[in-house]
Structure 1
Amino acid sequence: MPNQQTALRDRTDIDMREPRRFKVIIYNDDFTTMEFVVHVLKTVFFKSASEAEALMLNVHHHGSATVGIYSYDIARSKVRKATMMAREAGFPLRLECKPE
């Protein structure tokens, strides 16, 4: 029986990298109440009450702050959920997802 060659080839190089991370940024505006921002930070981003208040004050004084760093899908989901909550409450709160 003659030697047969197979079409399969062992692959020895595997390119494994960490998934890209994205930061969620929240922006200050003149209409969204501080209490609502704290509520969003606690319910959507699972921040403690003191951490949420500190972040809210940072946003208030500096114009924006990074709320957290997540994988793309989680970051987009949190931005979408927080934006929906703000629109339902009648606030123009703005959040953004940017590569780290």
Structure 2
Amino acid sequence: MGRKYTGDGFESEVLERHEVKEPSRYKVLLHNDDYTTMDFVIEILTKVFHKSEAEATRIMLAVHHEGVGVCGLYTAEVAETKVDMVHRLARGAGFPLKCTMEKE
């Protein structure tokens, strides 16, 4: 933990400082397909990513027009969980919605 110095007869401990590194962040992305409905994408964005109706609509339109939309920025574990949740919900509803994550 630290080193002890006793130069003046008193024992004191010097604490070493360690830099705390922020965890890496990952973008969670939804990808466009020809089968998943826009309503379902909005539902995913509101339920899984807690987006407002307006924000969910904006992201859904980005997915539709640009082929991909960013749902949010998360730590690796949270991003993995959200990707898994999207896939489970989409498969359960019969949609092939693709969701991925990539390092920021």
Aligned equivalent of 1:95, options 89, 95, 99:
99
1:11-45: per-residue Cα shift (whole Å, max 9, x none)?
A: 62413111110110110000000000000000000
Aligned equivalent of 1:44, options 39, 45, 48:
48
Q: TM-score, normalised by structure 2?
A: 0.84
Pick 1 or 2: higher relative contact order, CA cutoff 8 A, min separation 6: 1
Q: Give structure 1 stretches of 5+ with no counterpart.
A: 1-7
Aligned equivalent of 2:23, options 16, 19, 24:
19
Q: Give structure 2 stretches of 5+ with no counterpart.
A: 4-14
Q: Percent identical across equivalent pairs? A: 42
Instruction: Give the Cα–Cα distance (whole angstroms) in 1 for the partners of residues 99 and 45 of structure 2.
Output: 11
Q: TM-score, normalised by structure 1?
A: 0.87
Please identify which structure carries the higher strand content. 2
RMSD over aligned Cα, in angstroms?
1.3
Count matched residues: 93
Runs of 4+ displaced beyond 6 Å: none
